[in-house]
Structure 1
């Protein structure tokens, strides 16, 4: 795909839910022509309201951004002029495979195809595509909320063309994101492998009766969590000294959890219907007001972190 980063792109986002509307917002705010598609018309209508709310929270005028967004329920129409198609559908492999099979039939031959899956290998998603389409498929894993979290993981498969990989990276940088290149298509990519490794150990501590869920959060938020935004774990290793790090690893690694299946505590809570904030109880109990306050504090923090300096 030969595209100038200075000219507006035609971007189609498939899925108007939690991630899709935020991704559409980012491209529209950067001046691109965005088509947001979803088979659920109510979801499309709600997406525009959510985008307007996001922009209001960021103190950004909504009208110029919304003017760059069209909604379209029919996938065939939504992708017919697209330069970039981003799929943000539910995490179901068969669904994603079917979507890209349809997209490949209707989108222009130059269009780049990207999946926002957070864990499914991109190679599996592209298994039903013919060679030319498969060469234009990559992963673009955004983080929630996508309009506020800078990072996007750009994932290549063994089939992805090098120019497609680089162009996908450049497009994201041009709209103000912080893309990183993932050179091997591993499940969970980089960020989620790290995040879920921490979760596995946290659940193991709860399962073993070492502490409760609230203590886990207190420890992380009031210790190493405070420095993570300015001091990554590899930087911290160099700061502490690799000799000391190796000594610590020799003691603690043999005792860390290495389970290959989900936590028994997690499975039991789900069986009971305790699914988290959406059900009012998970690892902790939540009123609607408490859940809203967590979301408000998070949004306020991320907006302040994204504010220009000076």
Structure 2
């Protein structure tokens, strides 16, 4: 499988050229791997090079050498026919991903690693229609947006995933400059999104209950415990303050925390009204196009600076 891929230039195919796909492709191409991007949309596929060029310009990296290693291909079977490593970055729909991997497994070499960039769907469900030979090569690789700037990638194994595939996927991600972590049980949302959305559930609940507005939530997070998070994780923090204090706090606060098992009524109301977030000008907060662009710019520059430290 990837024993030699980690040490040599390999052929990588990214299925999906959208928000995550072109960033993933950029990482592999920047690390020296021949990278193919495929997408059913001609416009989305053609825009990938433009997005990658803009990313590299913003990072202060000469785009030419990276773009030279990127090939665009509309045909899925052709794009994976000689791939060593295939990463799917399609929309979060189980049936779509199942069909894609069935097609990929049929067209790709039997030695190719098959990886899904899903952020929440269990990898086992994505691969449930694959034969045994393909299932053992299927692994989760959950990248974070923006893929070219956020270091972490969660590597998820199923009970079918080969140990060699799991370890070698971890190693090739480390070799291209990412910070992979191992997820040993295939649970919905894996690690990061379970933690993130537990926070979101409580934040949205506080707004819905009238405790504060959405802007206050963002201010509290960014100017309190959020400032510590880059250097002090929650487990470190618990041990720092002492577990007896953590237990005492939990005894008081846990009974009043939101524990809903369904999306918030507030989210349902906003979505039904067409208030979907920055792209519609209103979500939990109101946004002008200029404000939305500024958030994206500020995030990118913050991540670039953090990666350069």
Task: State the TM-score, normalizing by the size of structure 1.
Answer: 0.98
1:72 aligned partner: 73
Aligned to 1:206: 207
SS at match of 2:250: helix
Measured after TM superposition, the shift of residue 88 of structure 1 is 0.1
1:9 is displaced (CA, Å) by 1.0
Correspondence for 1:260:
261
SS at match of 1:181: strand
Match of 2:105 in 1: 104
Stretches of 4+ aligned residues off by more than 3 angstroms? none
1:209 Cα deviation from its structure 2 partner? 1.1
SS in structure 2 opposite 1:267?
A: helix
Q: How does 1:2-21 map to 2 (within 5 A)?
A: 2-4=2-4, 5-21=6-22
* Deviation digits for residues 1-41 of structure 1 (CA, Å, limit 9, x no counterpart): 14322201100000000000000000000000100000111
Q: Is the 8 A contact 2:2 2:84 kept in 1?
A: no
Where do residues 135-154 of structure 1 align in structure 2 (5 Å cutoff)? 135-154=136-155
User: Aligned-pair distance for 1:174?
Assistant: 0.2
Number of equivalenced pairs? 308
Rounded to whole Å, the distance in 1 between the matches of 2:293 and 2:206 is 28
- Which is further off, 20-29 or 203-212? 203-212
Q: Residues 1-310 of structure 1 correspond to what in structure 2 (within 5 A)?
A: 1-4=1-4, 5-307=6-308, 309=309
- CA gap 1:49/1:240 in 2 versus in 1, 3 angstroms: same
Shift in Å at residue 282 of structure 1? 0.7
3-state DSSP of counterpart to 1:108? coil
- Tell me the TM-score normalised to structure 2 length: 0.99
Question: In the TM superposition, what is the alpha-carbon distance from 1:208 to its structure 2 partner?
Answer: 1.1
SS at match of 1:140: strand
Uncovered stretches (5+) of structure 2, i.e. residues with no partner: none
Cα RMSD (Å): 0.6
Query: SS in structure 1 opposite 2:141?
Result: strand
Distance 2:226 2:268 in 1: 27
Which deviates further from its counterpart, 177-186 or 203-212? 203-212
| Matches of 1:164 and 1:284, distance apart in 2 | 43
Measure, in 2, the Cα distance between the counterparts of 1:269 and 1:2: 46
Q: Unpaired runs of 5+ in structure 1?
A: none
Superimposed CA distance per residue, residues 188-239 of structure 1 (whole angstroms, 9 cap, x where no aligned partner): 0000000000001111111111111111111101100011011000010111
Q: How far apart in 1 are the matches of 2:83 and 2:164?
A: 18
